[in-house]
Structure 1
Amino acid sequence: MNLVNIAKHLLYLTQSEFGFEASIPSDDEIYASQQLFKILKSLKDSYFNEL
């Protein structure tokens, strides 16, 4: 599974957990998106360190 597929899967899980609506994001959604960003950044950093 490559980095793009992981990102898409994590985004799907976040959307399915909180619902995907055009509304103002809740505190939980903001926190989840921040955590998702941290995970993706650490995956990207570790991937490029292995190259």
Structure 2
Amino acid sequence: MAILTGPAPAFSAGGNVELSAAMQAVTHHTGDRDEAVAAMPERRAPRFTGN
């Protein structure tokens, strides 16, 4: 995941879409994502734990 923490690489538009889809696949299976979704309807700030 070093690509997410370094300088922004130059991708084509298609490359950006592919990278975005790949990162969404990773982040959609985390406890923090579940906490964010739960916090929205409760109108509270999410409590992220890093997992």
Question: Do both share a fold (TM > 0.5)?
Answer: no
TM-score of the superposition, structure 1-length normalised?
0.37
The structure whose residues are more often helix, as a share, is: 1
Which structure ranks higher in relative contact order (CA pairs < 8 Å, sequence separation ≥ 6)?
A: 1
Q: Which of the pair has more CA radius of gyration?
A: 2
TM-score of the superposition, structure 2-length normalised?
0.37
